[in-house]
A and B are shown apart, each in its own frame.
Chain A
Amino acid sequence: MSEQGLVLEFPLQGANFESAGEASSKIKRVLQQIGVRADIIRRVAIGSYEAEMNVIIHAYRGVIKAAIYPDRTEIAVEDEGPGIADIQLAMREGYSTAPDYIREMGFGAGMGLPNMTRCSDEFDIQSTVGVGTNIRMIFQHS
């Protein structure tokens, strides 16, 4: 028998800064309606928002999925984009390939991936140069 969970899925469009964060906002609201603990929701929202921003900043398009179970929330973000050549380097705080106009918006400081690992209980990243990047985060509810 498959595990019962609530699945939310939102398409993401690269360079669409106007609506950047909408998907994470909706995920956050559903978690609030379900009654997940506020400090857990905050961590999910931050991890999800950072991953969403990464797609908007770096990729052409992508999808963000939230699977909400009684004991945990899983966030999966898959994009079509340039991919990451050196993941270890990209994981380092302060390292970023974002251009200056992204920094002027308050992002591209090289904190996105480190933030995601900090917020989540499990973090996994797979990337292929010229194809795209997949990120998976798990947040335990207790």
Chain B
Amino acid sequence: MKLSDVKAILQAEVICGAEHLDQEAITVCGADLMSDVLAFSKEKTLLLTGLTNVQVIRTAEMGDLVGIVFVRGKRPGPEVIDMARDNGIPLMVTEYPLFESCGLLYSQGSFKGPRLAMTSDV
């Protein structure tokens, strides 16, 4: 599913990387443990997380993730946004909590890859 569809389903606001919203997410991973993301996610995965630090961006960079959605309306600081912009990683923020965000995408989205759900902060 395209990131623009994710934006619509989660009623998300795009923080940066609006030019990348035509990219395809093959699956979604909801997690706050970055090592789990690095261990189990595939490239072109969309990450849903409640963490907003620089390690989230680094994890997306190293793991070739397609984008990040911050849940529960959490917003990263400017240095985190700059790092994402430098690496061409689109960032969005949704007011939905992680559980609902995953549920909405799971029930309404169409994904080509395996569906992964991990540690959540519901």
Contact = CB atoms under 8 A, between A and B. Distances in A.
B59 A106 contact: yes
Contacts of B33: 103, 106-107, 109, 111
**How large, as a class, is the contact surface on chain A?**
20 to 34
A50 B58 contact: no
A6 interface: no
Contact of B62 (A38, A49, A110, A114): A49
B23 interface: no
Contacts of A25: 58, 61-62
A109 B58 contact: no
**How large, as a class, is the contact surface on chain B?**
20 to 34
B56 interface: yes
A32 to B, nearest CB: 11
Contacts of A50: 35, 38
Contacts of A17: 53-55
Given A17-B53, A107-B35, A111-B38, 18 more contacts: A20-B54, A21-B55, A21-B62, A24-B58, A25-B61, A28-B62, A38-B43, A39-B43, A42-B64, A46-B63, A48-B62, A49-B59, A50-B38, A105-B51, A105-B53, A106-B56, A109-B36, A114-B39
Closest 9 CB pairs of A and B: A21-B58, A111-B35, A106-B34, A45-B62, A49-B62, A109-B33, A109-B35, A115-B39, A46-B38
